[in-house]
Structure 1
Amino acid sequence: MATTFWAWIVSALVIVLLAVVVPSRLGAQSVLRDARGRYSLSRLQMLLWTVVLLSLVSGMAFGRFAAGQVDVAGFTIPAQVLTLLSIATGSGVVAAAIKVVKSNTRPDNVAAYVRGEERGRFMEMLTAEEGASAGKSIDLSKFQNFVITVLLVLIYVAQAVAALRAVDTPAGIGGLPGFSDTFLVLLAISHAGYLLGKIPSPAGTPEGGTMSARLASEPVGTVAANPVPEVLPA
């Protein structure tokens, strides 16, 4: 089973490398930053579950391959895991949609960085995004969601390790570990609170930059001086 464990770890490192390190080396914006240039909690959550689950699938498949199994993908993905992915992905999409609406309707109240000058600490993803307290005060809905997500990720990793240790060979792996319904309900309530926390619109102008300034810094496409060919008189 050592092969499966090592394949799991290497796969996780490769995914993190491709998602975080490579874009920064290429001059692209980090996958953890949103359209405002700020670190995003929903993006972190999606990345965490992607790394854990996709690397686990890769490790189990490689372990079965190394053991001489013909059907390297001959294991199942429990419905609970698919539900978990649906909750995390759906929450990320809804959160992004709320951000777009607010960035367009009240850009002077939304905290953002001027394009090309993205900075900020990693933990700013737990702070308020709008109003005078943006970037200063901890958002309670974000904090609870972050704590619960980290807790569930650690529990699932421990559960996966225990499941792999319980079998003698990779061929004995029947599928990914499932999640209890209680944990799924806890995750759903946490994400619901996180999304509801984005609805209020605090007043005030954030320090350190607004969405208006970021939109003003967007590169403007070059438009031809004469888009319609000039018609010369005969």
Structure 2
Amino acid sequence: MATTFWAWVVSALVIVLLAVVIPSRIGAQNVLRDARGRYSLSRVQVMAWTVVLLSLITGMAFGRFAAGQVDVAGFVIPQQVLWLLGVSLGSGVVAGAIKVAKSTSRPESVAAYPRGEEGGRFWEMLTVEEGASAGRSIDLAKFQNFVITVLLVLLYVAQAVSALRAVDNPAGIAGLPVFSEALLVLLAVSHAGYLLGKIPSPAGTPEGGTMAERLASVVSEENVAKVVPEVRTA
């Protein structure tokens, strides 16, 4: 089973490298930051489940291949796992839509970083996004969602490790571990609370930059591009 475990770990590292590390190295915005230039909790959650599940599938497939199994993808993905992905992805889409609406309707109250100057620490994703306390006060809805997500990810990883250890031959891997329905309900309730927490619109202007300033910088860059003539070689 060592082959399966190593393939799982290597796959997870490759995904993180491609999605987070390489974009940062080449000056691009990594997938964990949103259109405001801030670390996004919903993006982190989707990324966490993507890394765990996709790398686990890759590890199992490679383990079956190394064991001489012809049908390397002949294992089952439980319905609860698909629902888990659906809840996480759906929550991310809805959260993104709410952010777009807020950034469009009241950009002067939404915290954001200037284009090309994205900063802030990773834990800033747990703070309030709007109003005078943006970036300084912990958002309770975000905090509970983050804690529950971390707990469930660790539980599922532990469950997967136990399931793999219980199989003597990688060729006998029947499928991904089943995700508890009770934990699935807990995850759904947590995400519902997280999304409801995004609805209120705190008053005030955030310190350190707003979405209005970020949008203004985009307009300025576009105007400069129109003014500066294109230089063509002979």
The residue type equivalent to 1:220 in the other structure is: E
- Counterpart CA distance in 2 for 1:2 and 1:33 is 35
Cα deviation for residue 31 of structure 1 reads: 1.0
Aligned to 2:129: 129
Cα deviation for residue 24 of structure 1 reads: 1.1
Aligned to 2:34: 34
5+ residue gaps, structure 2, are 229-234
User: For each residue in 1:159-204, what CA deviation from the matched residue of structure 2 results, as whole angstroms up to 9, or x when unmatched?
Assistant: 0000000010011110000111100000000000000000000000
Percent identical pairs in the alignment equals 79
TM-score, length-scaled by structure 2: 0.94
5+ residue gaps, structure 1, are 226-234
Structure whose alpha-carbon radius of gyration is higher? 1
The residue type equivalent to 2:222 in the other structure is: V
The residue type equivalent to 1:67 in the other structure is: A
- Counterpart CA distance in 2 for 1:102 and 1:95 is 11
- Counterpart CA distance in 2 for 1:217 and 1:54 is 37
> 4+ residue runs of structure 1 moved beyond 6 angstroms?
none
Aligned to 1:63: 63
> Secondary structure in 1 aligned to 2:222?
coil
After TM superposition, the structure 1 = structure 2 runs for residues 213-232 of structure 1, keeping only pairs within 5 Å, are: 213-218=213-218, 219-220=221-222, 222-223=225-226
After TM superposition, the structure 1 = structure 2 runs for residues 96-107 of structure 1, keeping only pairs within 5 Å, are: 96-107=96-107
Cα deviation for residue 223 of structure 1 reads: 4.6
Kindly report the root-mean-square deviation, in angstroms, between the aligned alpha carbons of the 2 structures: 1.1
- Counterpart CA distance in 1 for 2:10 and 2:112 is 35
Cα deviation for residue 224 of structure 1 reads: 8.6
Aligned residues: 225
After TM superposition, the structure 1 = structure 2 runs for residues 14-93 of structure 1, keeping only pairs within 5 Å, are: 14-93=14-93
The residue type equivalent to 1:88 in the other structure is: S
Cα deviation for residue 207 of structure 1 reads: 0.3
